[in-house]
Amino acid sequence: MRPAMSWDTTFEELLRSYLPFLSATQPLHADTDLPTAGLDSLGAVELLGSLESAYDVRFVNDTLSLDTFATPGALWETLTRLQARV
Protein backbone atom coordinates (compact mmCIF):
# COMPACT_ATOMS: atom_id res chain seq x y z
CA MET A 1 0.00 0.00 0.00
CA ARG A 2 1.43 3.34 -1.06
CA PRO A 3 1.01 6.40 1.16
CA ALA A 4 -1.80 8.83 0.43
CA MET A 5 -1.08 11.47 -2.16
CA SER A 6 -1.41 15.09 -1.20
CA TRP A 7 -4.84 15.79 -2.61
CA ASP A 8 -7.05 18.45 -1.09
CA THR A 9 -10.01 17.94 1.23
CA THR A 10 -12.55 18.81 -1.47
CA PHE A 11 -11.32 15.92 -3.59
CA GLU A 12 -11.38 13.48 -0.70
CA GLU A 13 -14.84 14.57 0.47
CA LEU A 14 -16.31 14.34 -3.03
CA LEU A 15 -14.71 10.98 -3.69
CA ARG A 16 -15.73 9.51 -0.34
CA SER A 17 -19.36 10.47 -0.99
CA TYR A 18 -19.35 7.95 -3.88
CA LEU A 19 -17.66 5.14 -1.92
CA PRO A 20 -20.35 3.41 0.16
CA PHE A 21 -18.12 0.49 1.13
CA LEU A 22 -15.38 2.70 2.61
CA SER A 23 -16.15 3.71 6.18
CA ALA A 24 -15.42 7.21 7.43
CA THR A 25 -12.66 5.80 9.64
CA GLN A 26 -10.88 3.90 6.84
CA PRO A 27 -8.03 5.81 5.24
CA LEU A 28 -8.23 6.61 1.56
CA HIS A 29 -4.92 5.63 -0.03
CA ALA A 30 -3.63 6.46 -3.48
CA ASP A 31 -4.00 2.80 -4.47
CA THR A 32 -7.43 2.13 -2.94
CA ASP A 33 -9.44 0.15 -5.49
CA LEU A 34 -12.41 2.44 -6.16
CA PRO A 35 -14.77 -0.21 -7.59
CA THR A 36 -14.14 -2.41 -4.55
CA ALA A 37 -14.89 0.62 -2.34
CA GLY A 38 -18.25 0.94 -4.09
CA LEU A 39 -17.72 3.27 -7.05
CA ASP A 40 -20.00 1.93 -9.78
CA SER A 41 -20.54 3.26 -13.31
CA LEU A 42 -23.38 5.59 -12.32
CA GLY A 43 -21.33 6.88 -9.39
CA ALA A 44 -18.36 7.47 -11.68
CA VAL A 45 -20.50 9.59 -14.02
CA GLU A 46 -21.89 11.59 -11.09
CA LEU A 47 -18.42 11.96 -9.58
CA LEU A 48 -17.13 13.18 -12.93
CA GLY A 49 -19.73 15.95 -12.97
CA SER A 50 -19.00 16.88 -9.37
CA LEU A 51 -15.26 17.10 -10.02
CA GLU A 52 -15.77 19.16 -13.17
CA SER A 53 -17.94 21.62 -11.24
CA ALA A 54 -15.71 21.80 -8.18
CA TYR A 55 -12.44 22.22 -10.10
CA ASP A 56 -13.72 24.03 -13.22
CA VAL A 57 -12.21 21.46 -15.58
CA ARG A 58 -13.57 19.21 -18.32
CA PHE A 59 -12.63 15.57 -18.58
CA VAL A 60 -11.91 14.98 -22.25
CA ASN A 61 -12.00 11.74 -24.23
CA ASP A 62 -8.46 10.62 -23.43
CA THR A 63 -9.19 10.90 -19.69
CA LEU A 64 -12.48 8.99 -19.76
CA SER A 65 -11.28 5.46 -19.07
CA LEU A 66 -11.62 2.77 -16.45
CA ASP A 67 -7.98 3.39 -15.52
CA THR A 68 -8.73 7.02 -14.59
CA PHE A 69 -11.40 5.90 -12.12
CA ALA A 70 -9.53 2.84 -10.80
CA THR A 71 -7.79 4.48 -7.84
CA PRO A 72 -7.76 7.85 -6.07
CA GLY A 73 -4.15 8.32 -7.17
CA ALA A 74 -4.97 7.87 -10.86
CA LEU A 75 -8.00 10.14 -10.59
CA TRP A 76 -6.11 12.89 -8.72
CA GLU A 77 -3.23 12.70 -11.20
CA THR A 78 -5.66 13.13 -14.11
CA LEU A 79 -7.44 15.98 -12.36
CA THR A 80 -4.21 17.87 -11.68
CA ARG A 81 -3.15 17.42 -15.33
CA LEU A 82 -6.49 18.88 -16.44
CA GLN A 83 -6.09 21.82 -14.07
CA ALA A 84 -2.66 22.54 -15.54
CA ARG A 85 -4.22 22.82 -19.01
CA VAL A 86 -6.64 25.56 -17.91
Distance CA 4, CA 7 (A): 8
Polymer length in residues for the chain: 86
Q: What is the pTM of this model?
A: 0.88
pLDDT at residue 85 in the model: 80
Give the domain ranges of the chain. 32-86
pLDDT in tens, 4-63: 468 999 999 999 999 999 999 999 999 999 999 999 999 999 999 999 999 999 998 888
Decide: 69 and 39 in contact? Cβ < 8 Å.
yes
8-state DSSP, 62: G
Question: What architecture is domain 32-86?
Answer: Orthogonal Bundle (1.10)
Q: Tell me the Cα Rg of the chain.
A: 12
pLDDT at residue 1 in the model: 43
